[in-house]
Amino acid sequence: MTIGINAFLFLSVALFAIGFFGVLLRKNTLVIYMCLELMLVATTLALVAFSRFNGTLDGNVFVFFILTVAAAEVAVGLAIIVALFRRRQTVMVDELNALKN
Amino acid sequence: MADILFYLFAAITLSTALFVVVSRNAVNSAMFFLLSLMGTAALFVLLDAYLLAVLLVLVYAGAVVALFLFIIMLLDMRGGERKPFKRTTLVAGTFAAILLGLGVLSFVQHSQLSSAAVSADVPALGASLKGYAAQLFTTYLLPVQVVGFLLLIAMLGVIVLSKRFEGLEDVK
């Protein structure tokens, strides 16, 4: 493979920027959450690329922990979204304005 | 051959990630998210991290996306009947994402990274399971314990969150 680390980093940055764009753009809390996960995946891609091109294993082990924390985070976040929906009957962030005024 | 595969998977990952953002229906977003994760897992395989590729498919595609779809079904959201975003938000979001991307890219460009491909004498440590086991049971033993505890706390938190609380004032 003649692809260097820069190509992987560019890809990771592009993926992270798309996730960030989605977080800023969308109103649906679930889609915002998916975009957050996309950003996490982008960082894991950068970590694995660094680890591979350095000849170390630490980046890969770190991705291990990131996957675990992401799984726990998704479970808690979706429980919060369900609790929110039960209370307010909506998950759109522009309608969740209890702190406004 | 691996180069063509890299560009193919990179294109799949980026285009489906963009579709996650712009699809009007949340179910479509979840499906495109699944495809994007598959592309990332393929890129992990290209980086010789076979275990992580399998774990990404199992944990993300298997558990996380299934949970997302389950919640979307549970909440019964109506999609596609109104615009998912405003035009001003679109302009501001695009601008912010481009600024963020350019900032990180200039950081990468001006760093001391070599753009050369991985040479043959760099060992692919992520390819074997033995290395992970040795690291997780020696250097990273404490983090493994902490992460296990974190999973327990998350489980308890989810149980508490999904309980109905009687007599709690509704936020109006």
**B25 inside domain:** yes
On whether both B1 and B51 belong to a single domain, the answer is yes
Q: Enter the pTM of the model.
A: 0.88
**B118 inside domain:** no
C-alpha distance from A82 to closest chain B C-alpha (Å): 8
On whether both B21 and B68 belong to a single domain, the answer is yes
Per DSSP, the three-state class of B172 is coil
- Give the mean model confidence (pLDDT) for residues A43-57: 91
**B171 inside domain:** no
Of B75, B101, B132, the CB nearest to A85: B75
Query: pLDDT tens, B92-117?
Result: 888 888 888 888 878 777 777 766 66
Q: In this model, does residue B9 exceed pLDDT 80?
A: yes
Lowest mean pLDDT among A60-64, B41-45, B74-78: B74-78
B127 inside 8 A of chain A by CB: no
> What domain count does chain B have?
3
Of A8, A25, A85, the CB nearest to B89: A25
Quick one: pLDDT at residue A98? 78
Q: In this model, does residue A74 exceed pLDDT 90?
A: yes
Q: Which residues pair with B9 in a beta bridge?
A: none
Find the Cα–Cα–Cα–Cα dihedral B47, B51, B54, B59, rounded to 10°. Answer: -110
On whether both B134 and B104 belong to a single domain, the answer is no
Quick one: pLDDT at residue B172? 44
DSSP letter at B138 equals T
Please state the ipTM of this predicted complex: 0.92
The highest-level CATH class for domain A5-88 is: mainly alpha
**B123 inside domain:** no
Mean of the per-residue pLDDT values for chain A? Answer: 89
On whether both B75 and B94 belong to a single domain, the answer is no
Domain of residue B101 covers 83-111
* Residues from chain B contacting residue A37 (CB–CB below 8 Å): 33, 60, 64
Q: Quick one: which of B97, B103, B109, B154 has its CA closest to A38?
A: B97
User: Is there a contact between B97 and A70 if contact means CB atoms under 8 Å apart?
Assistant: no
Of B47, B71, B125, the CB nearest to A81: B71
User: Higher pLDDT residue, B172 or A60?
Assistant: A60
H helices of chain A, where?
5-25, 29-54, 58-88
At A94, the amino acid letter reads: D
Query: pLDDT tens, A4-40?
Result: 888 898 899 999 999 999 998 888 899 999 999 999 9
Query: pLDDT tens, B21-73?
Result: 988 888 999 999 999 999 999 999 999 899 999 999 999 988 999 999 999 98
